[in-house]
């Protein structure tokens, strides 16, 4: 058990932080929802009921989609773009999809390589893109959930204010949808840009997200 906890500590810690954050979001979300309900002269709801509302769903989904978009872009852009001095970047001369030998696929696969990495057909093609495809799927799924749940939450608010509900297409063109979307996108892009640039000059001893403390600022693609 202790070995399992040690071997999976990073995933387990983030999973626990995720659950704790989601609980915090639910508690503060229902308080805000009920505060607005009082102002609108309608019923307040319980925490359990709030978890089933489109308000909660859209607030969750809008953050998820931006996180997955961030990682999707990071996965793809770091194939072709580099940053001198950043441990988040590949070496400057490794731009592109790299050779089969460098990627250890096909005849260059090693005994412990994943089975599909030894293939040369569609399995290798699919496995070579699997991380991007899954992240892209999660992004699109979360964004679609934001669209659908956001329209529902928006329409509930519209009716409370005695205004007409909008169609899915109408919501896609609404300021509410794009404000929710872009306010999350901008923060993700800023965080990535900051990490790429700051990690050139700053260090965190022992972290694989940082270069070794003594590494030169010009060293690229070196993780501590």
Partner 1 sequence: MSTGARRPARTVLTALGVAALLAGCSGSPSSGSAQRTAEAAVQASAARDSAGLCALLAPATAQQLEQQESAPCSVAVQSLDLGQPSGSGAAQVWGSSALVTVGSDAVFLTDVNGRWRVLAAGCTLREEEPADCKLGGG
Which is nearer to partner 1, 112 or 164 (by Cβ)? 164
CA 22, 25, 27, 32: dihedral to nearest 10 degrees? -160
Burial 53-87 (b: 16+ CB within 10 A, else e): bbbbbbbbbbbbbbbbbbbbbebeebeeebbebbb
Could you tell me if 194 and 209 are in contact, meaning their C-beta atoms sit under 8 angstroms apart?
A: no
Site string for partner 1, 53-92 (x = CB under 8 A): xxxxx--xx--x--x--xx--xx------------x----
Separation between Cα atoms, residue 127 and residue 104, nearest integer Å: 13
Contacts of partner 1 in 1-20 (CB under 8 A): 10-11, 14-15
Separation between Cα atoms, residue 34 and residue 58, nearest integer Å: 17
* Residue 4 buriedness (CB in 10 A; 0-12 / 13-18 / 19+): exposed
Q: Of the listed pieces 92-100, 101-109, 148-156, 213-221, which binds partner 1 according to CB under 8 A?
A: 148-156
Q: How far is the CB of 77 from partner 1 (least distance, A)?
A: 12
190 lies in the binding site for partner 1 (CB under 8 A)? no
Out of 36, 113, 127, 141, the only residue in the binding site for partner 1 (CB under 8 A) is 141
107 lies in the binding site for partner 1 (CB under 8 A)? no
Which is nearer to partner 1, 75 or 95 (by Cβ)? 75
CA 198, 142, 57, 181: dihedral to nearest 10 degrees? 60
Q: How far is the CB of 219 from partner 1 (least distance, A)?
A: 17
| Residue 182 parent element (H or E) | helix 175-201
Out of 138, 140, 215, 222, the only residue in the binding site for partner 1 (CB under 8 A) is 138
133 lies in the binding site for partner 1 (CB under 8 A)? no
Q: Of the listed pieces 99-107, 113-121, 129-137, 210-218, which binds partner 1 according to CB under 8 A?
A: 129-137
Separation between Cα atoms, residue 208 and residue 21, nearest integer Å: 25
Residue numbers of the site for partner 1 (CB under 8 A)?
A: 10-11, 14-15, 41-43, 45, 49, 51-57, 60-61, 64, 67, 70-71, 74-75, 88, 131, 134-135, 138, 141-142, 145, 149, 152-153, 155-156, 158-165, 192, 195, 208-209
């Amino acid at each position: 058990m202790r070995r399992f906890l040690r071997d999976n500590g990073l995933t387990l810690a983030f999973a626990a932080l995720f659950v704790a954050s989601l609980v915090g979001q639910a508690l503060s979300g229902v308080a805000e929802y009920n505060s607005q309900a009082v102002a609108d002269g309608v019923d307040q709801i319980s925490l359990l009921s709030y978890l089933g509302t489109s308000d909660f769903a859209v607030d969750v989904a809008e953050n998820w989609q931006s996180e997955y978009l961030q990682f999707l872009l990071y996965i793809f852009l770091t194939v072709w773009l580099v940053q001198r001095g950043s441990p988040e970047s590949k070496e400057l001369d490794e731009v592109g999809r790299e050779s089969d030998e460098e990627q250890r696929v096909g005849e260059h696969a090693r005994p412990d390589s994943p089975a599909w990495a030894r293939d040369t057909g569609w399995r290798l093609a699919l496995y070579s893109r699997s991380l991007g495809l899954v992240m892209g799927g999660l992004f699109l799924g979360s964004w679609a959930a934001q669209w659908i749940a956001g329209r529902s939450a928006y329409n509930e608010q519209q009716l409370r204010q005695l205004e007409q509900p909008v169609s899915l297409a109408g919501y896609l063109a609404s300021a509410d949808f794009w404000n929710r979307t872009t306010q999350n996108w901008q923060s993700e892009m800023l965080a990535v840009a900051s990490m790429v640039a700051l990690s050139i000059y700053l260090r965190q001893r022992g972290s694989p997200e940082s270069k070794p403390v003594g590494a030169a600022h010009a060293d690229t693609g070196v993780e501590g």
